């Protein structure tokens, strides 16, 4: 039987609602997108904001981490796909 530890962390919020979140494969980073053109990265252990990415002209619709957790891909309604280095 597997027992999961439950822990509540308060993450710095988006300007509006967070529409989608993704954990990095290594479990160290949580990425989130909302109704704006920003991507936020948080430390998954303590909830502290690590970085805010901006570069899309319209809202970001999807995000995905690379298998090694070092790159984040994002796509937007502006028709662009951007790749970001993950600290």
Residue 10 lies in a domain: no
Total of domains in the chain: 1
pLDDT digits (tens, 9 = 90+) for 37-84: 889 999 988 888 999 999 888 888 999 999 999 999 999 988 999 999
CA distance 34 to 1: 36
pTM for this entry: 0.80
Residue 42, domain CATH:
2.40.10
3 pLDDT more than 60: no
What's the pLDDT at 19?
Answer: 78
Q: Which residue has the higher pLDDT, 24 or 6?
A: 24
Residue range(s) defining the domain that contains residue 45: 18-85
CA distance 56 to 4: 37
């Amino acid at each position: 039987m597997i027992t999961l530890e439950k822990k509540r962390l308060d993450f710095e919020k988006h300007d509006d609602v967070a529409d989608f979140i993704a954990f990095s494969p290594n479990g160290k980073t949580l990425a989130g997108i909302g109704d704006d053109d920003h991507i936020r990265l948080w430390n998954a252990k303590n909830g502290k904001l690590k970085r805010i990415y901006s570069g899309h002209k319209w809202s970001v619709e999807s995000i995905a981490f690379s298998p090694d957790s070092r790159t984040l891909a994002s796509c937007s309604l502006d028709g662009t796909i951007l790749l970001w280095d993950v600290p």
